Amino acid sequence: MFEPVSLQSVEELTPFSLALVARDPDTPPQTLTFTLVSGPGGLQIHPATGLLTWTPTEAQGPNSYNVVVRATEAGPAGRSSTLTFSIVVSERNEAPTLAAVPDFTVAEGTTLTFTGVAADTDLPPQRLTFSLEGAAPPGASVDPDTGVFTWRIGDDAGASTNLLTLRVTDDALEPKSASRSFRVTVLAQPRIVLNEIHYRAAAGGAEFVELYNPSTNTAWSLSGWRLTGTAFTFPASTTLGPDAYLVVARNRTAFLAAYPSSPAPVLGNYIDQLSADGGTIELRRPLTGGGEAIVSQVAFRTRAPGPWRRTGPAPRCS
């Protein structure tokens, strides 16, 4: 005869054990053998001791299971008795996981996008929601459902280093979350333009090329930059601040004589390498690791006004 067993409860993924006690009323008591008549998958009973053991799987909770066990006397005519009771398995919420997010280095004026990859082992499946922790930079967001992160970085955002944290949260009653931090380094992009080209000065030598930096926040060192068509290389100490102009004169003395009140700094002298018909002037900057990049370019003819070509607003050519 089994001693009664009350309602049992256990959390999924947690070891459960219960020592069943059965007494044989015979004298002397005979050996009993315990067997499991029915019960959830994985539940085991020790035939000699009656110890029930089980670790419910993720899929087995939450649920309730009926268990039927039998104790049988030894011998060919052994009598037996059965016991029925229930085990309630409760859900245990596991924290979701979030794949590591790499660090990024991006240029201003570009859009950074990637997709957060998250998982949650709980069953029944849970809904996961993405978010950004703390104060994200303006324009940065993550789609709560898809995990797609997007940051449109402004054309004139300037250089910055940003530490962001992506988080994913499950929808359990007591939600759990995971988060990953990543660094976004924004590099400023030189957008200095050839603003004005004056190639027919009344006073010989006063011809000039004017540069303008339209950035509101980034100063550029023009060290080693050069102007093609004029054989001019900017000296090491040259900088061009935000919203600032810089003049390169064919002959600095002649330029300052013709324009004594020039508000912009004046560099020189350059050697005119353009043909009588005009030509192309390029502002080039050296690249780390060799080579040059064209920052601004103007092609023009001297015989008639224009045509000149340049991205952005047209320069004045005269």
Instruction: Give residues in contact with Ca ion (CB under 5 A).
Output: 58, 61, 91-94, 120, 122-123, 170
* Cβ neighbours around 133 below 10 Å, total: 13
Residue facing Ca ion at closest CB distance: 170
Q: Which is nearer to Ca ion, 120 or 210 (CB)?
A: 120
DSSP letter for each residue of 253-299: HHHHHH-TT--S-EEE------BTTEEEEEEEEEPTTS-EEEEEEEE
**Which DSSP state fits 22?**
B
Q: How many residues does the chain have?
A: 318
Q: Which is nearer to Ca ion, 180 or 191 (CB)?
A: 180
| Shortest distance in whole angstroms from residue 58 CB to Ca ion | 5
Q: Which residues pair with 197 in a beta bridge?
A: 209, 317
Instruction: Tell me how far, at minimum, the Cβ of 117 lies from Ca ion, in Å.
Output: 16
Q: How far is the CB of 66 from Ca ion (least distance, A)?
A: 19
91 vs 282 by CB, closer to Ca ion: 91
Minimum CB separation of residue 193 from Ca ion in Å reads 54
User: CA-to-CA distance for 96 and 169, rounded, in angstroms?
Assistant: 7
Comparing CB distances to Ca ion, the nearer of 33 and 93 is 93
If you count DSSP H runs as helices and E runs as strands, how many of each does the chain have, helices first? 1, 27
Pick between residue 94 and residue 282 the one whose CB is nearest to Ca ion: 94
- What minimum distance in Å lies between the beta carbon of 114 and Ca ion? 23
